Structure 1
């Protein structure tokens, strides 16, 4: 659980550091009215230590996520990763001066309370020993390919529902990654190359990033992030319970369900922090929109 929470903290802080760096790297000559994606911004951002630190934290978070998924029930890890939105919200309030409403502070408290309940009720570390068999490994590959196909279909949805559909597809892709990590059996090079779950992990992860990027570019950040949170938590949790033997401590199942629901609901209430500056908006415009952090 420490690794899962560490991953959430790493991902949440990384988002804010990268947003701060992107705004610091903005070209003042562009003014607040700039628009579009500036390819030169990435080059300038890479000169900012905060952006590089954010990338490093992303790598640390992913490594911690892998460790957590190999030893914890998927429902606990998924809820903990959704909690990165709470970390982003609190960190943004400090570094970016973003104002959290009373409702959002309650949402942060709900996430923390839900994770505490999950930590108390989750099964022992042995819950992650079941790899699900060949059917599940091939199933992750099929699911990853299905996510790609569904994402193409979601891109044709009406504008009002397109972002939510793409975000849900992205969440399902990240969910495939969570299940695939648990489904992988042998860790030798030969076993990894022959394991369909490995290819499901790679395709699912790539599809998730592509769909999330499209979702954030084509509609509401809140809708896209909410869809992603649902997709990456509910489905994988059910697979973990039904196919991988994930269990709670004896007699603690209701507490685990309540904790999971509380953490996910809190994350959904914080969905606007899924992207600190909307794609297509220049960093200068975003900086003008967000109040300066008080010293």
Structure 2
């Protein structure tokens, strides 16, 4: 189990660095109206974005390995804490100065994860009926439809909606990985959860890139963090039998709440500014709108 925890932490490091690279790439690519799948095609020619995707793939493999023996609520909280990694990396690389409260949030994330790691029980692949696998596939298709509709909303509402849909997509990826009982290629080809994992992952990446390109960074990232941690954690406990070590449930609850709350405090690091002068400040308006002239 120790190796699984280390693997999940390594995955968070990969995702944290990838966030910086992908967000900078998204900001340097011409925006489009609504949700445009061609955005990912344009980004495919961007070296920082491709490097970020490569790190994401490494991180996903590490996350997949961790999900084979750790509860979802532990892995998802660790993965969400990638923002703490992003915040720390943004300092020396992008010359972003962390405030005292943000350093406190980074330390709080570490403390929360330490509590979670200490309380986690050992798990294995969840054996559940085929109906749940098909439900995940149906949910991934539904997210594509809902995300396309969310892309037509105005301003902050679009950022929050796309962030939620992206977070739910990443949540479906985690749930699908958790219920894959066999990694044999033939078994994967006949398991609806495999297709759910691929579809939800692609949808989440598209919606998150779209939201970062045109919307509020903090609103998008905060919504995504909540959706990708709370929903899979609840499903894991209620349906998949995830549990803590005997008598340590209160510790797990405190650790989860502290880690997620501290991660939300770092939401502005969901996308550092491409200029290298720090995260884009929140202006409370749609970034696709022209700035008003100073009076």
Same fold (TM over 0.5): yes
* Structure 1 counterpart of 2:186: 190
1:1-295 aligned within 5 A: 1-16=5-20, 36=30, 46=47, 54-124=52-122, 127-277=123-273, 283=274, 286-287=275-276, 289-290=277-278
Conserved in 2, the CA contact under 8 Å of 1:221 and 1:274? yes
CA-to-aligned-CA distance 1:50-86 (integer Å, 9 cap, x gap): 8776554333212111101121101101000011100
For structure 2, the 5+ residue unaligned runs are 32-38, 280-295
Quick one: distance in 2 between partners of 1:192 and 1:230? Answer: 29
* Structure 1 counterpart of 2:285: none
Quick one: distance in 1 between partners of 2:258 and 2:119? Answer: 14
Quick one: distance in 2 between partners of 1:175 and 1:131? Answer: 18
Quick one: distance in 1 between partners of 2:133 and 2:42? Answer: 41
For structure 1, the 5+ residue unaligned runs are 23-33, 278-282
Partner secondary structure for residue 64 of structure 2:
helix
Partner secondary structure for residue 5 of structure 1:
helix
TM-score (norm 1): 0.82
Pair 1:199–1:106, CA change in 2 (3 A) = same
Quick one: distance in 2 between partners of 1:249 and 1:71? Answer: 13
Quick one: distance in 2 between partners of 1:240 and 1:40? Answer: 36
Partner secondary structure for residue 128 of structure 1:
coil
TM-score (norm 2): 0.82
Question: Aligned-pair distance for 1:170?
Answer: 0.2
Question: Aligned-pair distance for 1:119?
Answer: 0.4
Quick one: distance in 1 between partners of 2:72 and 2:97? Answer: 32
Quick one: distance in 2 between partners of 1:59 and 1:187? Answer: 16
Pair 1:141–1:54, CA change in 2 (3 A) = closer
Structure that is richer in helix per residue? 1
Quick one: distance in 1 between partners of 2:245 and 2:180? Answer: 25
* Structure 2 counterpart of 1:280: none
Quick one: distance in 2 between partners of 1:137 and 1:276? Answer: 37
Pair 1:198–1:116, CA change in 2 (3 A) = same
